[in-house]
Amino acid sequence: MKKILTKGRIAILVIVAVIVIDQIIKVTVKLNMYWHGNIRITDWFYIFFTENNGMAFGMEIFGKLFLTLFRIVAVSVISWVLYKIVKKGYKTGFIVCVSLILAGALGNIIDSVFYGVIFSESTSAQIATFMPEAGGYSSWFHGKVVDMFYFPIIETNWPEWMPFVGGEHFIFFSPIFNFADAAISCGIIALLIFYNKYLSDSYHHATHQVENKENEK
């Protein structure tokens, strides 16, 4: 019981820490930078303020409301899974990975649900304000996700002799993302690298339980 409580506290600590750090960064950028403004840290690292209506790394596939509701459903499922694996005493590293994924998803949900109401619009000529008298730039559940980390590690042009892309500009790793996206990615990558067998065993165990229940009917 003591181990379960400890692992539960670790999960909560990871979730709270990621959300707090993510929101501090986003609010700081939102209230101090023009849209598409950038701060050069090094040649391969910029703080580049942009916003998106879509999923992680600026991808846009479905409508905004659908994506927000989808995130909420996904977070509910991940929360349930996290509760179960903590209760069953899974490895701490595994719990941390799932907690990172959950925290990252929650961080972006906050933007989607609240930012449209509590901030004015960011433009290339206007810095956003908090709780503007005229109201926010959108309605509940229609806020834009704030992104800012840009790592153009390699920026060059393709050789002229290359077919199809010759002479075109090329940037290696062009997505702009936020701390929440990074938490989700780190959690997923760590799960695949360090807990692949663990995931496979859990899947087979769950499948076996379903088959047993079907046979009992």
- Under the banding of pLDDT at 50, 70 and 90, the label for residue 74 is very high
- Under the banding of pLDDT at 50, 70 and 90, the label for residue 34 is very high
Average pLDDT across the chain, whole number:
88
* Residue 93 CA, distance from chain mean position: 19
- pTM (predicted TM-score): 0.85
The residues near 6 (Cβ < 8 Å, ≥ 6 apart) are none
DSSP 112: I
Q: Please tell me the total count of domains within the chain.
A: 1
Which domain, by its residues, includes 204?
2-216
pLDDT on residue 71: 86
Please give the Cα distance from 159 to 157 (Å, whole number): 6
pLDDT on residue 78: 95
pLDDT on residue 203: 54
pLDDT digits (tens, 9 = 90+) for 171-207: 888 899 999 999 999 999 999 999 887 766 665 555 5
Contact criterion met (CB below 8 Å) for 29 and 190:
no
Query: Which residue is it, tokens 């004015």?
Result: 120
pLDDT at residue 210 above 80? no
Contact criterion met (CB below 8 Å) for 169 and 200:
no
pLDDT digits (tens, 9 = 90+) for 54-68: 655 445 555 677 788
- Residues noted as catalytic: 147, 181
Contact criterion met (CB below 8 Å) for 29 and 118:
no
Q: How far separated are the first and last CA of the chain, in Å rounded?
A: 34
**DSSP-derived 3-state class of residue 10:** helix
pLDDT digits (tens, 9 = 90+) for 100-141: 999 999 999 999 999 999 999 999 999 999 999 999 999 999
Residue 70: count of CB within 10 angstroms of its CB? 12
Contact criterion met (CB below 8 Å) for 184 and 104:
yes
Query: Phi and psi (nearest 5°) for 135?
Result: 100, 165
